Structure 1
């Protein structure tokens, strides 16, 4: 999960852990790409804020991750306008508008994981 707001990091991490998902919490797209590209872990999904501190946005992160893993589930989070999702978001992704209930996040991740598993 990539989120640069620490209070939201804790909420999202707790929701994912309670649902049985292991998670790495990162603050920037650059950190996430470094970890993803290292191959040290096999990630099953990406949950990323759209607006991140640093050079890359959540949109950029998802596109670069999908270049290596075309079917990796992506859940975007945003507190801003979601209008860019259609043009900047990767296909077969879900966008959650902040604030959202933790259950909405778990549903989104589970739905995308189930879709990938069936293909």
Structure 2
């Protein structure tokens, strides 16, 4: 039996967090939420193996940014999709193998398209046998 895909959304704007979470849930994705990098790292430590992909803002309150969250996620779940978001176009040029970028401000249809693309990619990936 296949489990529902899950995402960790790291976003300090409550409104954006709720919009993205709603779009993901509409696709049948379980959502974990964090509003700071520190909270995201805590979730990754405790539930990282449950998370299929990550969507993180790059600029977060506190000392931990989205790049660090992305690196921590990839250390736990190598090869899994990471979607970064930022208002700064210069950051979008940073090379992150397999990373996707959403430029803020984004429209709902852009986020919805990225969510659908990630889900389709996860569904197309071969399932690892539980050992």
For the superposition of Structure 1 and Structure 2, which TM-score range results when normalised by the shorter chain?
0.7 to 0.9
Structure having the higher Rg: 2
Segments of structure 2 that go 5 or more residues without pairing to the other structure are 1-8, 127-131
CA contact (8 A) 2:27 2:116 kept: no
CA contact (8 A) 1:45 1:109 kept: no
Shift of 1:75: 0.7
TM-score (norm 1): 0.84
- Structure with more of its chain in strand, by fraction: 2
CA contact (8 A) 2:10 2:35 kept: yes
Show structure 1 runs of 4+ deviating over 4 A. none
- Matched with 1:48 is 56
Higher RCO, 1 or 2 (CA under 8 Å, sep at least 6)?
1
Distance (Å, rounded) in 2 between the aligned partners of 1:41 and 1:118: 16
- Count of residue correspondences: 117
Segments of structure 1 that go 5 or more residues without pairing to the other structure are none
Matches within 5 A, 1:6-25: 6-25=14-33
Q: Show CA shifts across 1:20-70 (max 9, x none).
A: 211112101111111111137600110001100011110111012112211
RMSD: 2.0
- Matched with 1:86 is 93
TM-score (norm 2): 0.77
CA contact (8 A) 1:44 1:113 kept: no
Matches within 5 A, 1:1-119: 1-39=9-47, 42-79=50-87, 81-87=88-94, 90-115=96-121, 117-118=124-125
Distance (Å, rounded) in 2 between the aligned partners of 1:103 and 1:45: 19
Distance (Å, rounded) in 1 between the aligned partners of 2:21 and 2:121: 22
